[in-house]
Amino acid sequence: MKLTRTTKQFNSNTSNQKWVLIDANGQTLGRLATRVTEILRGKNKPQYTPNNDCGDFVVIINAEKVNLTGKKLTNKFYFEHSQYISGMKTTSAGDMLKTKPEEVIYSAVKSMLPKSKLSDALITKLKVYKGEDHPHQAQTPVREEIK
């Protein structure tokens, strides 16, 4: 009698994906981004599979109220380039929080995801909004506190 053991592989079709609501008010950017990355990848679930999408959808509200420690408001810069000569634009983190606070959180989470095709699928499950309102009430997101 031969015993065969197989490892169960989970993916987005077989895992139970839910919606999580996180309030960024008073949260430190790095700690918020690491927790969101864990939820997006599904590392907080027992059926975590590293090469498949088993994570949950994440809705972040109050993006403009996130905290940056130290001198990051003035010394941290975000770069864009237009692909033309001398086409580089730099923006400080303080200016980005005033104009596009969603992009600050989005870029922090994206940089913590694996550099592969899987991260393109995972980042689409992140929804970041300025203020309290978001259009995902129908999905009934579960509020989660970050410590």
Residue 2 has pLDDT above 80, yes or no: no
pLDDT in tens, 48-98: 888 899 999 999 999 999 999 999 999 999 999 999 999 999 999 999 999
Residue 11 has pLDDT above 90, yes or no: no
Mean pLDDT of the chain, nearest integer: 93
Give me the percent of the chain exceeding a pLDDT of 90.
82
Residue 147 has pLDDT above 90, yes or no: no
Listed residue (17, 31, 11, 22) closest to 139, CA to CA: 17
Please give the pLDDT value at position 14: 82
19-68+100-143 maps to CATH 3.60.15.10: no
Residue 26 has pLDDT above 90, yes or no: yes
pLDDT in tens, 114-141: 999 999 999 999 999 999 999 999 999 9
What torsion, rounded to 10 degrees, do the Cα atoms 25, 26, 30, 32 define? Answer: -40
- List the chain domain ranges: 19-68+100-143
Residue 5 has pLDDT above 90, yes or no: no
**Angle ∠(111,122,144) on CA atoms, nearest 5:** 90
pTM score of the predicted model: 0.89
Let me know: does 58 contact 141? Beta carbons within 8 Å: no
